[in-house]
Amino acid sequence: MADLPALGIPDEGRLSHNILHFARALRKAGLPVGPGRAIDAIRAVEAAGFTDRADFHHTLAACFVSRPEHRAVFDQVFRLYWRDPRFLEHMMSLMLPALRGVAEERRARPAERRAAEALLDAVPSDRPDPETGEEIEIDAKGTQSARDRLKSLDFEQMSPAEAAEAKRMLAGLRLPVAPLISRRSRADRLGRLPDWRGTMRAALRAGGEMRDFSTKNRRRRWPDLVVLCDISGSMSQYSRMVLHFLHAVSNAKGAGWARVHAFTFGTRLTNITRHLATRDVDAALAAAGAEAPDWEGGTRIGAALHAFNRDWSRRVLGTGAVVLVITDGLDRDETDILAREIERLHLSARRLIWINPLLRWNGFAPKARGIRAMLPHVDCFRAGHSIRSLEELAKAVSEARDTGERDRMLAAMRHSGPI
């Protein structure tokens, strides 16, 4: 906090109320702050005093910050709420710059935009005093319908406010997967397979007398998830949302995946796996955007798949990984290269799922050469244009027989014949 100007702290005579509003802003920004921590913060400030700005900052940080990745969000919210008397003007200015790729044209600090949005939501409004006896009627009939509408709304048609709410909803999505049954086994007293070696070893320890019969079961292991995401100009808006969803899957506890590997491609292939390991989503996507200079550029799907098959296939697909390819299939390369590389990827993966936003249109037909080259070599073909479509992706991952729209599209290809 040493680099911030020494501005005055708001003095309204309602310090406890201000701390509560500050705690609500932290919670909206993603920190696990509950009523207990807010009460502890009020008591801590009461004990430590309110005479020095640095002491006040460290006192609140000791109560609200429990992880290193929470520090950036806390510092931004603290600066805007407590130290800048014009924080509303500053926050509104943060909403104006346009996005380019995953990073912003204005190099904001990690979590700065999220802190601004949280504080705008946390500004207290004028409400009737409950002691006056005035009744307040709340009409919540449209709340659920609005949420359902947002789930079905196309990512490209969302307003900035709807996109921000969609990102918060994507942060709570999970992509569960069933474990794989390995050929290896392990000792299990309730197992169904006989363990002859274990039985003989136990008999040798007992002087050759067989006192017990050992059993075993097959080991279970979790598969890897590999995601290849198209970040070309026609896919940029969808890619941002998919990367938010992918960040949530990468950092989810108990989701089942052994490891999650992420790659972006436009005119070149970029590995962003280590960036998505960052807990803060803003810092993770900013680093991923800086790593991928071909954002909103052209599309060379065949060349990108060739680079993946050559450099990464044996590293990340050796244990039977599930592969997600997110692209519209509009390729500029020769279709022969694309068909050969997607076939090789299909043979190397345990299951290959293609997510195509163009499938949202009722009149969609596989007429583009890139789509016709890729479609015969995928196990499942699904849309990926909304929150609901990403929720339904769990069915395609967990059920091996799920093919989505692949069979119908293949039938349409056979009916239309060659282009």
pLDDT tens per residue, range 223-272? 889 999 998 888 877 888 888 888 888 887 656 788 899 999 988 899 99
What is the reported pLDDT for 119?
56
Low-confidence ranges of the chain (pLDDT < 50): 1-2, 4-10, 85, 88, 91-92, 94-108, 122-136, 138-143
Give the 3-state secondary structure of the chain. Answer: CCCCCCCCCCCCCCHHHHHHHHHHHHHHCCCCCCHHHHHHHHHHHHHHCCCCHHHHHHHHHHHHCCCCCHHHHHHHHHHHHHHCCCHHHHHHHHCCCCEECCEECCCCCCCHHHHHHHHHHHCCCCCCCHHHCCCCCCCCHHHHHHHHHHHHCCHHHCCHHHHHHHHHHHCCCCCCCCCEEEEEEEECCCCCEECHHHHHHHHHHCCCCCCCCCEEEEEEECCCEEEEEECCHHHHHHHHHHHHHHHHHHHCCCCCCCCEEEEEECCCEEECHHHHCCCCHHHHHHHHHHHCCCCCCCCCHHHHHHHHHHHCHHHHCCCCCEEEEECCCCCCCCHHHHHHHHHHHHHHCCEEEEECHHHHCCCCCCCCHHHHHHHHHCCEEECCCCHHHHHCHHHHHHCCCCCECHHHHHHHHHHHCCC
Q: What pLDDT sits at residue 144?
A: 53
pLDDT value for 128: 43
pLDDT tens digits for range 366-393: 888 899 999 999 999 998 888 888 888 8
Report pLDDT for 110: 52
- What is the model's pLDDT at position 130? 41
pLDDT at 418: 61
Confidence (pLDDT) at 306: 94
